[in-house]
């Protein structure tokens, strides 16, 4: 191994350089954060590399189904491969498996959609989603991601983090946004811990009230949240208070299936 093959990572430790793998990861990360599909030349420009450097890497990613190419436009986008792989992990698979039938029941009982979210760095990700049986409803797309501080799901996940982890997350959130004051997030977290949930008017969608409850594992750690974006309708027979009670019962059942035993 030559000295050129060893680099310093961000924390000052040693790591071995794998140029082809790093190019592939650069491509995947670029496509993950880019809403529209990109041509190979656009990918090369964005990564400050040449097309010839990336040609074989992108062919490999395409052959392994990590990226998809539109045969008409010759543009690339990220496939669902990484999302599907994440769902084969035992913790996520067990969570979704336990939650899905209960989410189906909640949606039917409340006539509202609901979705299951987990934390992913400073974002939340929707890992399961059930539509309302009502012909008119609001729902969130499976796989959608949102900044933690912009959603009830994210703030409830933040509220139940261990104290040191919560402080660290708040430090990182404040470093990347200035719209929501730290004091406001801290106050919301305290209120959530006191009440056990958050019922709050959506900051993103007018007319929707988010009902969000935490889900815990066998160690008492928060692993996910369940949210119903409650959309009132003229002929809706289930009031928001009843929907919230049905949600509370449902998350207790999901947590129990994951081994949680409340004190």
Please give the Cα distance from 101 to 11 (Å, whole number): 44
Q: Higher model confidence: residue 263 or residue 191? A: 191
Residue 252 resides in a domain:
yes
Same domain (yes/no): 115, 167: yes
What is this structure's pTM?
Answer: 0.69
State whether residue 11 is helix, strand or coil. coil
Final residue before a domain boundary, out of 35, 52, 79:
79
Phi and psi torsions of 112, nearest 5°: -130, 155
CATH code assigned at 59:
1.10.10.10
Between 12 and 43, the more confident residue is 43
Quick check: is 262 in a domain? no
Q: Do residues 129 and 243 both lie within one domain?
A: yes
**69 shares its domain with 196:** no
Tell whether 133 and 38 lie within a shared domain. Answer: no
Q: Is there a domain that residue 247 lies in?
A: yes
Clarify whether residues 206 and 92 are in a common domain.
yes
CA angle, corner 127, sides to 163 and 227, nearest 5? 65
Three-class secondary structure of residue 120 per DSSP: strand
The number of distinct structural domains making up the chain is 2
Query: pLDDT tens across 75-106, in order?
Result: 998 887 776 666 555 567 889 989 999 999 99
65 lies in some domain: yes
CB 258 within 8 A of CB 222: no
Give a yes or no: residue 263 inside a domain. Answer: no
Q: Which one of 18, 46, 79 terminates a domain? A: 79
Q: Is 27 in the same domain as 147?
A: no
| 50 and 164 assigned to the same domain | no
> In terms of residue numbers, what domain contains 145?
85-257
User: Are both 173 and 55 inside the same structural domain?
Assistant: no
Same domain, 59 and 121: no
- Residue 196 sits in a domain whose CATH number is 3.30.450.40
CB atoms within 10 A of CB 171: 10
Tracing tokens 């030349």 back to the chain, one arrives at 41
Whether 71 is covered by a domain: the verdict is: yes
Pairing mode of beta strands 222-230, 114-120 = antiparallel
Q: Rounded to whole angstroms, what are the CA distances from 221 to 89, 195, 247, 257?
A: 18, 17, 19, 14
Same domain, 52 and 124: no
Q: Is residue 207, in this structure, part of any structural domain at all?
A: yes
pLDDT tens, residue by residue, 181-216 = 999 999 999 999 999 999 999 988 888 999 999 999
Please say which residue of 48, 79, 110 terminates a domain: 79
In this structure, are 112 and 222 located in the same domain? yes
pLDDT at 3 over 60: no
Compute the Cα dihedral for 218, 222, 224, 226 and give only its sign: positive
Q: Is 57 exposed, middle or buried (0-12, 13-18, 19+ CB in 10 A)?
A: buried
In total, the chain counts a number of residues equal to 263
Reply yes or no on whether the pLDDT at 259 is more than 70: yes
Question: Mean of the pLDDT values across residues 8-34?
Answer: 76
Residue 82, both tokens: 């990484």
| Contact between residue 189 and residue 131 where contact means Cβ atoms under 8 Å apart | no
pLDDT digits (tens, 9 = 90+) for 139-185: 899 888 999 999 999 999 999 999 999 999 999 999 999 999 999 99
Pairing of strands 67-69, 38-39: unpaired
Residues 134, 252 within the same domain = yes
């Amino acid at each position: 191994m030559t000295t050129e093959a060893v680099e310093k990572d961000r924390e000052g430790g040693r790591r071995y350089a794998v140029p082809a793998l790093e190019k592939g990861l650069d491509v995947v990360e670029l496509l993950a954060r880019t809403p529209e599909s990109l041509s190979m030349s656009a990918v090369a420009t964005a990564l400050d590399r040449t097309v010839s450097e990336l040609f074989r890497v992108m062919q490999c990613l395409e052959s392994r189904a990590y990226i998809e190419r539109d045969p008409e436009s010759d543009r690339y986008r990220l496939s669902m491969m990484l999302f599907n792989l994440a769902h084969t992990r035992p913790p996520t698979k067990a969570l979704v498996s336990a939650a899905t039938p209960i989410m189906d029941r909640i949606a039917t009982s409340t006539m509202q959609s609901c979705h299951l979210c987990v934390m992913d760095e400073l974002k939340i990700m929707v890992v399961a989603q059930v539509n309302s049986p009502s012909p008119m409803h609001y729902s969130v797309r499976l796989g959608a991601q949102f900044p933690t501080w912009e959603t009830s799901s994210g703030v409830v996940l933040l509220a139940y983090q261990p104290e040191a982890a919560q402080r660290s997350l708040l430090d990182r959130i404040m470093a990347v946004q200035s719209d929501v004051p730290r004091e406001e997030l801290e106050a919301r977290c305290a209120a959530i811990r006191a009440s056990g949930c958050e019922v709050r008017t959506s900051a993103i969608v007018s007319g929707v009230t988010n009902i969000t409850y935490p889900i815990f594992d066998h160690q008492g750690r928060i692993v996910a949240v369940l949210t119903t974006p409650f959309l009132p309708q003229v002929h809706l027979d289930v009031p928001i208070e009843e929907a919230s009670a049905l949600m509370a019962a449902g998350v207790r059942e999901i947590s129990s299936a994951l081994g949680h035993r409340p004190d």
